[in-house]
Structure 1
């Protein structure tokens, strides 16, 4: 039975204050609390006559102060380490809150620690912060609390979060390079068409001879870009915004995008391996935590990150519910490589499915790492080749009439 969601604890804010101490000296600093009244009361206990208090503003440019998934991974590792050292849970949360340099994370951990200290189970408390702790995270903590092995579960959670964030970083890196190549090539081309080629056009007008077809083609593009650059820019911006909106609102658009991405050469290989790694890592972690395989497959499907794999895993779940072994069900989907289904078969026969899935995740995470490094090495010279072809083509188009200048003069 799912526990009822606890009421969210009052938000903890950081306040700047100024005042005068018992010796008459001016003092200032920062304190955390729920309200200005609480801050003033605390400072009066310390013998400070408060002259000014102000809630600390996060500011427009405080992006680096925002809680990111890697912060949650670090906190998870800290909790696992402290629990492993025998530090009680409430004290662990309080120590992490006090020692953290990032104010939003400090406030979050203070709120969680306050709720847990009042008797609310940790898993129930975390469900009040879905922005930072998803259902999988909370389910794992809940399993640890119910089994009395929260220390072991948190060690698994920390490994899972660390591996997930590293994998996510590698995928972003893999996607960045192709985008960088296209962006640089596009910017350079636009600059040439807008500012460089028009200079040549003035020269060509005095030639009095017919220009080569390639040169006329490039000059035509340059004229179009100069005349309608704002329309071209508007179309690109609107197209991007419409796609982004459709991607957010339409499941069908997201699914078709996932299918298309898996057909892009080179990139598709990395994304395939990453999806398998996420599937194996999630299933290994949840199954080892004592969550039934059928329920664990739900989490694994959501964590795969791609419609094709999500559909395949849901089909596997349906077959497993009907009594089929998972390795057989994986073969029927024709989505997972034979090596993966064979390792799952070994894990099922040996009774060490979670251990075998962990090995699968390790293998594919390493393959993703190698593939991203290979892509990086390939694209670095490719950037030069693409720019060379684009810039070189435009330069050749402009110099062809000059090469023919001798025959024109003759």
Structure 2
């Protein structure tokens, strides 16, 4: 969608009519679901349907934010400008997602490899050592007894050791998908986690201000823009905060006042929004906040994962070291016994 938006913005800015631009993009799109969507867009717009209404029929591709901005651009006669802002908006959002994804690849690989290796060692290798230790009737130290106990439990109750975490994970995913009190509680707890909670809060602020500012800049009324932002957020805590702001604004209050009571927005954001409302430059202030917080999120992600990688390696080293020492101590006793017997 980001590539499509950029290309549509470029064609529209060059003065190419929307129907012609959509036809060009449909022609260069590979066969698939999105090509069918573009074909329907071309047919609808050619028959006189506004682009925003045609897009609203395909919410899986064009969310309410997208179609609302296009509608505002059509109403104001600045569709090319709105498409350009949409392209910038989606490029920034895609850039943040790509950065997070790339930063998590290496730690994720380390964790997966560590879990597989440790599982193999505990379930298959350690029982072999236990047979050796039993055959020599060696007196085993505490760390070895602990390791052997873990191994026996994993072998005997493997369905609990491996099945229970998987079942709990599936239950968690199902409850999160359903929403409701469970998801709200989890989202609230995550925001309280040291370091991670602050990072997520800043990311939520950046997403809110970028989306809200872009909608207002496109000419979408404040109440409609707040409703769109509310419906596009996936965080239950932010959803409630935005809904409370929307209700308060509908009653004639400012945007900044209810933001002061939010669990997500800090004083800096509230003050900048207040200044934006007073000066009539709310959209510009919101986008400035978005730029600042996106930069902070980028820096914190870099710093977090630079610390996370060595931390994971240290944890792995400690665990592997414990296994090696636990197996080595009884082997030393066996060697001493054999040496004395010789």
TM (normalized to structure 2)? Answer: 0.91
- What is the deviation of 1:266? 3.1
Name 2:15's counterpart in structure 1. 86
What residue is the counterpart of 2:267 in the other structure?
A: 338
Residues 249-284 of structure 1: per-residue CA shift (max 9 Å, x gap): 242222122123223333323211110011000100
What corresponds to 2:164 in structure 1? 235
Asked if 1:121 corresponds to 2:50, the answer is yes
Q: Report matched runs for 1:165-180 at 5 Å.
A: 165-173=94-102, 179-180=108-109
1:69-148 alignment runs, 5 A limit:
72-101=1-30, 103-148=32-77
Offset, 1:98: 1.0
Q: Does 1:386 align with 2:320?
A: no
| Uncovered stretches (5+) of structure 2, i.e. residues with no partner | none
- The 2-side partners of 1:95 and 1:320 are apart by 43
How many Å apart are 1:153 and its aligned residue?
A: 1.3
Q: Does residue 373 of the first structure (1) align with residue 302 of the second (2)?
A: yes
Structure 1 residue 369: Cα displacement: 1.3
CA RMSD of aligned residues (A): 2.2
- In the TM superposition, residue 362 of structure 1 has moved relative to its aligned partner by 0.9
1:222 is aligned to 151
Task: Mark the structure with the bigger radius of gyration.
Answer: 1
Deviations 1:118-139 (A, max 9, x none): 1111111111111111111111
1:300 aligned residue: 229
> Residues 343 and 145 of structure 1: is their aligned pair in 2 closer, same or farther, counting only changes over 3 Å?
same
Deviation, structure 1 residue 370? 1.2
| 1:305 alignment partner, SS class | coil
SS, match of residue 205 in structure 1: helix
Whether the aligned pair in 1 keeps the contact of 2:107 and 2:309 (CA below 8 Å) is no
Question: Do residues 253 (structure 1) and 182 (structure 2) align?
Answer: yes
The structure showing larger relative contact order (alpha-carbon pairs under 8 Å, at least 6 residues apart) is 2
Task: Please point out which of 281, 292, 295 is paired with 1:363.
Answer: 292
CA displacement at 1:190 relative to structure 2 = 0.8
User: Which residue of 140, 150, 158 corresponds with 2:87?
Assistant: 158
Counterpart Cα distance in 2 of 1:303 and 1:250: 14
Q: Indicate the residue corresponding to 2:205 in structure 1.
A: 276
Indicate the residue corresponding to 2:248 in structure 1: 319
Contact 1:144/1:152 (CA < 8 Å) preserved in 2? yes
Closer, same or farther in 2 for the Cα pair 1:148/1:171, shift >3 Å?
same
Measured after TM superposition, the shift of residue 299 of structure 1 is 1.9
Q: Distance in 2 between matches of 1:179 and 1:324?
A: 46
Residue number in structure 2 paired with 1:60: none
Check conservation: 1:273, 1:368, Cα contact below 8 A: yes
Task: List gaps (5 residues or longer) in structure 1.
Answer: 1-71
| Corresponding position of 1:401 | 330
Counterpart CA distance in 2 for 1:217 and 1:274 is: 43
Q: Offset at 1:177?
A: 6.0
User: Deviations for 1:5-48, whole angstroms, at most 9, x for unmatched residues?
Assistant: xxxxxxxxxxxxxxxxxxxxxxxxxxxxxxxxxxxxxxxxxxxx
